[in-house]
Amino acid sequence: MMTETRHPDSPINPDLAALLPDPAPQQPLIDLRDQPSPDILRLLAIGSPPVVNGCVITLYRLGYARPEEWSRQLPTVNPNEVMRILTKRMTLSE
């Protein structure tokens, strides 16, 4: 006969835990793997959502990149902080 061990600090009732799906394996939010290339440039904009969006708009106004070329806002581990990634292929001239 099995006895049930109860943990008073546990936030999930063991009876309810059986109903929850198994947690999915941690997947990266964005996959940055690609063929190594000397002409690929990645820019990261990290900050509060208004600051990051302001950076994206400023670079658009300067003619550097359109807003839709950037990734969607991705959360960081810090509260109220996001990042967006721009991947550009640069032409190297010698």
Q: What is the number of residues in the chain?
A: 94
Give yes or no for a contact between 41 and 90, defined as CB atoms under 8 angstroms apart: yes
Task: Tell me the C-alpha distance between 43 and 37, whole Å.
Answer: 15
Tens-digit pLDDT string for the chain (94 aa): 445 444 445 455 555 555 555 555 555 555 666 666 678 889 999 999 999 999 999 999 999 999 999 999 999 999 999 999 999 988 776 5
Q: What is the pTM of this model?
A: 0.59
